[in-house]
């Protein structure tokens, strides 16, 4: 599902510009949002030749250099190297891991400095283990979904670090105070990830675990107290939706958060959130390095929109697609049961149309799918409304699925932003509903239009089985990464394997649906819709 081209230095350059201005989390999220807006058009891969020329001029890749592939690999390895506490504390010593599944009982508070379980176990991950980022060799830039590094579409291996427990750790469990914070909006699976982080920390031997209430706000609001966490507290929280810790957008400045970390004695911070939250987490990591504080900051990507770079999917996405089926089915029944019925369903997706696309594919009941990445006309001979008229005349009903970020160019723009700095979107669903009613009335054709917006019902659901497994593994691997001494990283699933990524490499811009991808073509085949331009 990865949709962008990995190129030398491009993301790093963008992130350098972005982080240079980070003063507070609210500001960083706001500037991230502006960066997104600028990047959407440059990363929509509709003309590979144009993209290649842009990349060549921006990155000064000399494809005539016989060693360009080796230089590319070296640059890629440098960019995807995982930040480690030994970067700041070169004398930091490691010790035998307290995580060993052959032990009969978990580590107790009484360590006596002896971490050796006395048993050999072959379940550890080597620091040199890698996961292949891309698995398809596109022989031509014109291949559907082609992700090419150069105009010749040469194959260049790109490896990222495999996630999992290491044989040696860099934190003594009895000296760890771990904190978990959930930021942004709600998403199915938040409680599942919290639960697994707590359980895995306890298996390592950590006894002091707290939750920071209501996102980054909990670091500065004196009225919000830490929430003590243990296996007993989190045992059944995955059975309900929402977040045990609560969520919020925005928050205090980075310096204030790091001050709070020092005051509280927190040396492991697990941050669950999307792109803006991860930008904040990376800024916290940078500030800790600047102050020479031994803190491991680990991100767990949380976005129901599935718009995080490099990852197959993010937790909550499968549940969202599954729950969206209920709304689509209701819209279909309403439309199918009415004379000239039209059902309109608005789903989440500010900048990426993955939920709308996958939901349309899964349901098999959608006639028109509209996403932010593919522009469309509502009026005119090739517009959506003209096609709806054709559907009403030919089959008697129609169902439309639209992502919330689609068609924003058709709406009156505002300069309002939410506390995270995201631009407030116009309601494209209501707009299409009204325009559809007006269109059919003007053409003297009866139309029974029903509109459904299940956004908050979907967000508040508990995770389904697929997401439950994903959340479990992500939570466990987040803890493994922290004890391995990494910081400023995030964990995700890549080509069905779990991997660690530097945060800087996943937040440069959102992952978008590639209009030339096979998955979008499959969606178009399923709906039978034409181009609406």
Tell me which residues are annotated as active site.
305
Measured over the CA atoms of residue 328, residue 330, residue 332 and residue 338, the dihedral's sign is negative
Cα separations in angstroms, 5 against 52, 306, 504, 532: 10, 17, 16, 27
Pairwise CA distance, residues 354 & 213, whole Å: 30
Pairwise CA distance, residues 306 & 520, whole Å: 15
Asked if 309 and 505 count as a contact pair (C-beta separation under 8 A), the reply is: yes
Q: Taking Cα atoms as reference points, which of 480, 474, 500, 499 lies closest to residue 488? A: 500
Pairwise CA distance, residues 307 & 274, whole Å: 9
Residues 6 or more apart whose Cβ sits within 8 Å of residue 312: 1, 2, 492, 493, 494, 495, 496
**What does the block give as tokens for 472?**
């479990």
Cα separations in angstroms, 355 against 277, 370, 399, 494, 533: 21, 11, 16, 19, 23
E-only strand ranges, 157-316: 159-162, 168-169, 177-182, 208-212, 227-228, 268-273, 296-301
Residues 6 or more apart whose Cβ sits within 8 Å of residue 231: 198, 199, 202
Residue numbers belonging to the annotated binding site for substrate: 303-305, 348-350, 404, 456-459
Residue 335 burial by Cβ neighbours in a 10 Å radius (0-12, 13-18, 19+): buried
459-472 b/e with 16+ CB inside 10 Å = b?
A: bebbbbebbbebbb
Residues 6 or more apart whose Cβ sits within 8 Å of residue 468: 189, 192, 238
Pairwise CA distance, residues 44 & 392, whole Å: 33
Q: In what order do the strands lie in the sheet with 227-228?
A: 130-132, 159-162, 497-502, 489-494, 296-301, 268-273, 177-182, 208-212, 227-228
Q: Taking Cα atoms as reference points, which of 182, 134, 103, 115 lies closest to residue 475? A: 182
Asked if 520 and 328 count as a contact pair (C-beta separation under 8 A), the reply is: no
**What does the block give as tokens for 468?**
């439950």
Residues 6 or more apart whose Cβ sits within 8 Å of residue 491: 163, 298, 299, 300, 301, 474, 477, 478, 481, 498, 499, 500, 501
3-state helix, strand, coil in the chain (%, to 5): 40, 15, 45
Residue numbers belonging to the annotated binding site: 185, 249-250, 274-277, 303-305, 348-350, 404, 456-459
Asked if 342 and 367 count as a contact pair (C-beta separation under 8 A), the reply is: no
């Amino acid at each position: 599902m990865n949709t962008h081209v990995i190129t030398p230095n491009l993301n790093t350059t963008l992130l350098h510009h972005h982080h240079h201005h980070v003063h507070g989390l609210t500001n960083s999220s706001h500037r991230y949002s502006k960066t997104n807006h600028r990047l959407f058009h440059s990363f929509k891969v509709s003309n590979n030749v144009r993209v290649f020329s842009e990349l060549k001029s921006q990155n000064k890749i000399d494809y005539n250099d016989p060693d360009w592939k080796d230089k590319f690999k070296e640059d890629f390895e440098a960019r995807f190297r995982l930040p480690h506490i030994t970067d700041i504390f070169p004398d930091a010593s490691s010790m035998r891991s307290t995580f060993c599944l052959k032990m009969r009982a978990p580590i107790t508070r009484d360590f006596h400095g002896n971490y050796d379980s006395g048993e050999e176990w072959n379940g550890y991950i080597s620091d040199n283990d890698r996961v292949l980022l891309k698995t398809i060799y596109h022989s031509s830039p014109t291949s559907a979904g082609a992700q090419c590094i150069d105009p010749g579409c040469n194959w260049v291996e790109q490896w990222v670090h495999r996630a999992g427990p290491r044989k040696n750790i860099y934190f003594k469990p009895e000296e760890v105070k771990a904190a978990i914070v959930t930021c942004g909006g709600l998403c199915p699976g938040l409680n599942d990830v919290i639960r697994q982080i707590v359980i895995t920390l306890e298996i390592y031997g950590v006894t002091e675990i707290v939750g920071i209430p209501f996102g980054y706000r909990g670091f500065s609001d004196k009225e919000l107290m830490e929430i003590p966490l243990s296996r007993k507290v989190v045992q059944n929280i995955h059975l309900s939706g929402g977040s045990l810790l609560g969520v919020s957008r925005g928050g205090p400045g980075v310096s204030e958060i790091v001050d709070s970390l020092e005051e509280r004695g927190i040396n492991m911070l697990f941050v669950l959130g999307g792109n803006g939250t991860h930008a904040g987490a990376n800024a916290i990591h940078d500030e800790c390095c600047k102050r020479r504080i031994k803190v491991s900051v680990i991100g767990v990507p949380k976005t129901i929109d599935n718009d995080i770079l490099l990852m197959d999917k993010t937790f909550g996405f499968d549940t969202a697609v599954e729950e969206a089926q209920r709304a689509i089915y209701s819209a279909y029944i309403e439309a199918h049961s009415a004379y000239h019925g039209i059902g309109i369903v608005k789903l989440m997706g500010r900048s990426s149309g993955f939920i709308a696309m996958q939901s349309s594919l899964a349901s098999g009941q959608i006639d028109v799918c509209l996403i932010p990445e593919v522009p469309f006309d509502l009026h005119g001979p090739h517009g959506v409304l003209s096609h709806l008229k054709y559907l009403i005349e030919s089959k008697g009903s129609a169902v439309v699925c639209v992502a919330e970020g689609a068609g924003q160019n058709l709406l009156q723009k505002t300069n309002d932003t939410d506390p995270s700095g995201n631009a407030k979107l116009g309601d494209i669903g209501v707009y299409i509903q009204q325009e559809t009613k007006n269109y059919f009335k003007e053409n003297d054709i009866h139309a029974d239009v029903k509109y459904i917006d299940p956004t908050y019902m979907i967000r508040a659901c508990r995770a389904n089985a697929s997401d439950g497994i994903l959340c479990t593994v992500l939570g466990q691997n987040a803890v493994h990464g922290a004890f391995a001494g990494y910081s400023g990283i995030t964990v995700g699933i890549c080509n069905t394997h779990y991997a660690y990524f530097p945060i800087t490499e996943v937040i440069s811009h959102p992952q978008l649906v590639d209009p030339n991808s096979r998955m979008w073509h499959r969606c178009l085949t399923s709906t039978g819709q034409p181009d609406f331009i």
